[in-house]
Structure 1
Amino acid sequence: MMSEPPPVDRAAIAADLERARVALHELVDGASTEQLARRSSGTRWTNEQLLFHMVFGYMVVRRLLILVRVFSRLPDPVGRGFARALNAATPVFHQINYFGSCAAATVFNQRRMGRQCDRVIAKLQRSLTLESETNLRLSMAFPVRWDPFFTETMTLEQVYRYPGKHFDFHRAQLTLG
């Protein structure tokens, strides 16, 4: 007889979402205009652009949740083919990701970034609360070349956990101090 997997630790996921939300506010509120305009370490972005990119990671998760729900219901070859196509488009993705964050940081700048982060994390918190255990175990193939924290297959639970890893990785690249 197969035993049921343990329930997903929603409290840990929710706490990580809140941790990043608070950290983002501390980073943005504590930074001067000059610090935000500095280049980050290991990226082509300024600190302000990188901070937006960190918030954008949470924004992307809302769309990824939809994709996992859809592709988990399709035959596996369809999802794997989609992931292969996305992997093939990695160079284009990286360009769009870079220039998109540059442009978006002009709108979601130091004044607006915190509010955007609050909104998107509140929505993720609400959706996490409403997810069934069954849904949290849904999975799909992912384009592993797009992000170092994507794995070949990811569950909805892993997608909820992803943006904290992305946030922490990029936080180490900030040159605010």
Structure 2
Amino acid sequence: MGEYVAMDRQAVRDDYARTRRTFHALLDTASRAGLDRPSDGTRWTNRQLLWHMLFGYIIARVLLVLARAFSRLPRRLSRGFAGLLDAGIKPFDLINYLGPCGAARVVSPRRMGVLFDWVTGALERRLAAESEADFARGMHYPVRWDPFFKDFMTIADIYRYPAQHFDFHHRQLTLDEPG
């Protein structure tokens, strides 16, 4: 199963602060043409990929709720749930692709920055309230859905996930880097 690695709350807060600064710098310096340019290695534009990077933080809040709920049940139930989700990889991939396409059309870059601040703040507040014992709780996840999902993820793993996801996709942006 998953192996619990001690939680360093400050390291997670530092990662959130770093990605928040980076996200705002990208948004503040991006031209309209840069936002509409294709990203590297995805079918998304930079604008759509930025939304997807933000969404990694939004989905972490949902993953935490799932982990808290499933960790109170027999592990076989979360294993079955993860298997069911993995079996639905084709619809997931389509929704995962189309979601940022639509969201980036209606959520302005300025609003993305506001949402990024809000969601990272909410995660930091929840992180501060977690007990040490809670960090070791977890559940099985659909490993085909994301390269950073492990078969079993603890709550500590989930807090670390959005910065890993952000850093991976940051390398795919084709925006001019802020000076």
Q: Same fold (TM over 0.5)?
A: yes
Unmatched segments (≥5 aa) in structure 1: none
In the alignment, what sits opposite 2:90? Answer: 91
Q: Judging changes above 3 Å, is the alpha-carbon distance between structure 1 residues 6 and 166 closer, same or farther for their aligned structure 2 residues?
A: closer
Q: What amino acid is aligned across from residue 49 of structure 1 in structure 2?
A: Q
Mapped pair 1:20 → 2:19: yes
Mapped pair 1:165 → 2:154: no
Q: What amino acid is aligned across from residue 106 of structure 1 in structure 2?
A: R
Larger CA deviation: 6-15 vs 120-129: 6-15
Quote how far apart the aligned CAs of 1:6 are: 7.9
Unmatched segments (≥5 aa) in structure 2: none
TM-score, normalised via structure 1 length: 0.95
Task: Give the Cα separation in 2 of the matches to 1:19 and 1:55.
Answer: 14
Larger CA deviation: 103-112 vs 90-99: 103-112
Runs of 4+ more than 4 Å apart: none
Quote how far apart the aligned CAs of 1:111 are: 2.1
RMSD: 1.1
Listed one character per residue, the Cα deviations across residues 124-155 of structure 1 (whole Å, up to 9, x for unaligned) are 00000000011111010010000000001000
In the alignment, what sits opposite 1:79? Answer: 78
In the alignment, what sits opposite 1:9? Answer: 8
Task: Give the Cα separation in 2 of the matches to 1:111 and 1:8.
Answer: 32
Quote how far apart the aligned CAs of 1:106 are: 1.6
Q: More relative contact order in 1 or in 2 (CA 8 Å, sep 6+)?
A: 2
Listed one character per residue, the Cα deviations across residues 16-45 of structure 1 (whole Å, up to 9, x for unaligned) are 111111110001111000000000011110
Quote how far apart the aligned CAs of 1:8 are: 1.9
> How many residues were matched structurally?
173
In the alignment, what sits opposite 1:124? Answer: 123
Task: Give the Cα separation in 1 of the matches to 2:106 and 2:131.
Answer: 35
Listed one character per residue, the Cα deviations across residues 55-75 of structure 1 (whole Å, up to 9, x for unaligned) are 000000000000000001111
Q: Answer whether contact 1:52 1:109 (CA < 8 A) is retained.
A: no
Larger CA deviation: 105-114 vs 46-55: 105-114
TM-score, normalised via structure 2 length: 0.94
Mapped pair 1:156 → 2:171: no
Q: Answer whether contact 1:68 1:156 (CA < 8 A) is retained.
A: yes
Q: What amino acid is aligned across from residue 59 of structure 2 in structure 1?
A: V
Mapped pair 1:40 → 2:35: no
Q: What amino acid is aligned across from residue 57 of structure 2 in structure 1?
A: Y
**Identity percentage over the alignment?**
51
Q: Judging changes above 3 Å, is the alpha-carbon distance between structure 1 residues 6 and 35 closer, same or farther for their aligned structure 2 residues?
A: closer
